[in-house]
Amino acid sequence: MSHAISLDSLLNLPAMGIPVVNYSPESTWEFGAAAQGYFRLPNQERTSIVQLDGTYSLNKQWYINAQGTLYFGRKKYTTQPYTTLHHTTPHSWHLQFRVGYSDRPATYYGVYDDPHFANEGNTGIGMLRQGTPYQLQRGYLHVQAPISVEKDWAVGPMADLLIAQYEIDGKYKTPAPLIQAALGAVALYDSRDNVFYPTRGIFFKLSAAAAWTSRVDIPEGQQASINGLLSADLRQFVPLPCSLVFAWQFKAQLMLSEYDISHLTLYPMLPRLGGQDGLRGIHSDMFRDDIMLALQAELRIPIWSIFRAAVFAGIGDVYDYHNWHWAVPKVGYGIGLRAAINKAKVNIRFDIARSNVDPRWNNINAYSFYLTATEAF
């Protein structure tokens, strides 16, 4: 006797594998696979998730990544999987981790709030002009362990390790890997009703860390510096009539350094403005600097069955805290389509966006397309 496999039965499996197809202006088409495992640790009613994924792009970029969230301690109330931290006791905590390696070609656009200034960036090996290609290899590890202190609130330590090496246009390669090690703390507030596709609630994350960063400026030697890393992420999801959802996000990132970070040494680590998780319509490598400020909003509209639409817009910019000045902010806007692929409300997302950035500096089409399986925020 044959038995049909339903979607519900697939969702109840302890593990599942899915193909991955992404598109973004930075990578073009990416193909790969992802595997997810679901389990509950002793005395815990919350489902822990571990994921392993990897892709290769037509732009010759590849990465492999492992990440997960493990929940420990005893829960006070029973909650549904995929909900967030609320209804926890002060004795519960969770561990989030991410570790991986990537190898990708990239383009140096410079720092400051306008890529016109890129030819002023002194890398210590000569003047690196806007549009210069370079190859970046990096390995990374991120760990944070917030402890629930009250309903929806959690605080705890965090640590980051980044090891990177780059090659400029096939002519120069760093004589030693660049290393950044950071140690700090994170505070979380999370009252969202679903982590994949929230319809109500607030998410707030504030982190601060001190980072030791090696500095490779010249082939003859290596120096180090101490940097400060600050990050804030505030999101709100508001249910509206007719099953509409209004969502907005404010994000700020700050990297304090004791020396001019126009050096390519720290360039890959700088806060960036665009990309599929930032201001859509702006190339993710185009605007980087010490400070990044961005505000974006999205109206999520049900269409039929598993399909939803989105209309979004955002505004933001990057700044040099050594030479702060206001300029015309960058604006991105567009529309999108969503299709739910499981009961957890994980969506396939397709967005088309454009910005007020001069296409001559965009180095890509005036329109940007994104195809992925996660929401922008």
| Average pLDDT score over the chain | 77
> What is the phi/psi pair of residue 47, to 5°?
-80, 125
Q: What is the mean pLDDT of residues 266-293?
A: 82
Q: Take residue 88 and report the two structure tokens written for it.
A: 């926890």
Question: What is the Rg, in whole angstroms, of the alpha carbon atoms belonging to the chain?
Answer: 21
Report the relative pairing of strands 367-372 and 347-355 from DSSP bridges: antiparallel
Q: Are 177 and 141 in contact (CB under 8 A)?
A: no
* pTM for the predicted model, two decimal places: 0.80
pLDDT exceeding 90 applies to what percent of the chain?
30
Q: Are 27 and 21 in contact (CB under 8 A)?
A: no
C-alpha distances (whole Å) from 368 to each of 24, 216, 280, 283, 331 are 7, 34, 8, 8, 13
Query: 277: closest CA among 155, 142, 368?
Result: 368
Q: What is the mean pLDDT of residues 36-41?
A: 78
Distance (Å, whole) CA 14 – CA 37: 6
**All structural domains of the chain with their residue ranges:** 14-372
Q: How many CB atoms lie within 10 A of CB 150?
A: 12
- Say if residue 73's pLDDT is above 60: yes
Question: Is 166 or 358 the better-scoring residue by pLDDT?
Answer: 166
- Say if residue 162's pLDDT is above 50: yes
Sequence-distant (6+) residues with CB within 8 A of 196 are: 82, 344, 345, 346, 347, 374, 375
**Measured in whole angstroms, how far is the alpha carbon of residue 343 from the centre of its chain?**
24
The one-character DSSP state at 362 is H
- Highest mean pLDDT (candidates 103-107, 119-123, 220-224, 360-364): 103-107
Report the relative pairing of strands 28-39 and 48-57 from DSSP bridges: antiparallel
State the pLDDT confidence band at 238, using cuts at 50, 70 and 90.
Answer: very high
* Identity at 312, one-letter amino acid code: F
Query: 276: closest CA among 372, 356, 365?
Result: 372
pLDDT at 116: 38
Looking at CATH, the fold of the domain delimited by 14-372 is given as Porin (2.40.160)
pLDDT at 358: 65
pLDDT at 341: 79
Question: Is 19 or 45 the better-scoring residue by pLDDT?
Answer: 19
Q: What kind and span of H or E run contains 68?
A: strand 62-72
**Measured in whole angstroms, how far is the alpha carbon of residue 32 from the centre of its chain?**
19
Q: Give the bridge partners for 70, in sequence order.
A: 95
The one-character DSSP state at 11 is H
State the pLDDT confidence band at 285, using cuts at 50, 70 and 90.
Answer: confident
State the pLDDT confidence band at 176, using cuts at 50, 70 and 90.
Answer: confident
pLDDT tens column, 329-361: 889 999 999 998 777 777 888 999 988 876 555
